[in-house]
Amino acid sequence: MEDRRRLGVADPKPPGSLGSGSKLMARKLIEDETTLLAQGLDGEEESPYLRRQKAVTVRRRGLSWSWQWAIFIVTVVAPLGIASCFLTTFVGTSPRFELRSGDDTQLMANHFVTREDVAAALGLPVHGSNGFGLNVLRLSLEDVRKQVESIPWVQSSTLTRVLPNRLVIRVVEREPVAYANVGGRVSLVDGEGVFLDKPESANFDFPVITGLDPTAGREQCKGRIALYQDFIRELGAEIVHSGWTVSEADLSDGDDLKALLIQGRETLQVHFGHENFLAHFHTFLALLPELRKSATPLDSVDLRYRNQVVVNPQERTPASSAAGVEHSQTLKE
């Protein structure tokens, strides 16, 4: 150590301890490195291994709107249009979508309307095929509905297409209210005055209506039948409990409903007028014991007049009938 002092060499300092000069030099080096990093090391002699090359932005010119629309039409619209045209032509002409016979129809809610009736209304054979078909997609449901409702027993109908070649028909059938004797031909009639053929498999217990004139128009027939329906509705169970039965109803006079009543072997025609049918029937039942006291058989009883009943007895001899002699009796209530 003395030799070091003679030679003027400073004693070494312990590790980890720096002099003030060394500290300043280290601080200077750190500041220089920080400055170089902040400046991005843009020096010309900077090594490529110490920094990332700067990316160069390349701008590409896009397609114009007209070209974009052209490409869209060629790649999307045109193929869809061609496919749609092909599909429409196929569906409109293929026999796979045609109704060929009544077997291709489904009838619902029917009791008396048959598939044969529907096939005849549509002009199709009941079974098989006659070479003629109705395209299920091209036919008009409104026209077919009118054809189905031209069947007398059909009051209304609804139709549904079922692909590929089915037609579902739901019908509402007419409800007959009586038998109608028109020109010696007996048929059923509904509340709207429509005459119906009696189905072979059906049995109805209705009175027979006379006096309807089909040539007078539907409205007149409908009005006369409404009069008959009011009569049946008012009497209801009352006439059943009385033991009498309505056999016929004459509607030839719109102001006077004449009913032929039957009880056992007794038959009597009663004039009920056009209103208050139940009250008139009660009057008839109240005066019936007195009417039966007459030894002369009764032909008709007129209940149209207030507080009195006009009784017409049957004619006794053909001579008196030819002479037009009328025997009548008036009873007061």
| 275 pLDDT more than 90 | yes
pLDDT in tens, 210-268: 999 888 888 999 999 999 999 999 998 899 899 999 999 999 999 999 999 999 989 99
Say which range, 15-19, 220-224, 302-306, has the weakest mean pLDDT: 15-19
CB atoms within 10 A of CB 228: 23
What is the per-residue burial (b if ≥16 Cβ within 10 Å, else e) of 109-136? ebebbbbebbbbbbebbeeeeeeebbbb
Q: Note whether 259 and 272 are within 8 A (CB).
A: yes
Tokens of 215: 């040539």
- Report the SS3 class of residue 139: coil
| 30 pLDDT more than 70 | no
Q: pLDDT averaged over the chain?
A: 80
Question: Please, what are the domains in the chain?
Answer: 95-173 (3.10.20.310), 176-332 (3.40.50.11690)
First-last CA distance in the chain: 169
C-alpha distances (whole Å) from 92 to each of 76, 119, 139, 236 are: 24, 22, 10, 57
pLDDT at 96: 85
pLDDT at 48: 54
pLDDT at 66: 83
pLDDT category, 142, cuts 50, 70, 90?
very high
* CA–CA distance, 96 with 2 (Å, rounded to integer): 124
* CA–CA distance, 316 with 313 (Å, rounded to integer): 9
Say which range, 75-79, 125-129, 275-279, has the weakest mean pLDDT: 75-79
Tell me, what amino acid is at 70? A
pLDDT category, 38, cuts 50, 70, 90?
low
* CA–CA distance, 161 with 74 (Å, rounded to integer): 36
pLDDT in tens, 52-78: 555 656 566 666 788 878 777 878 777
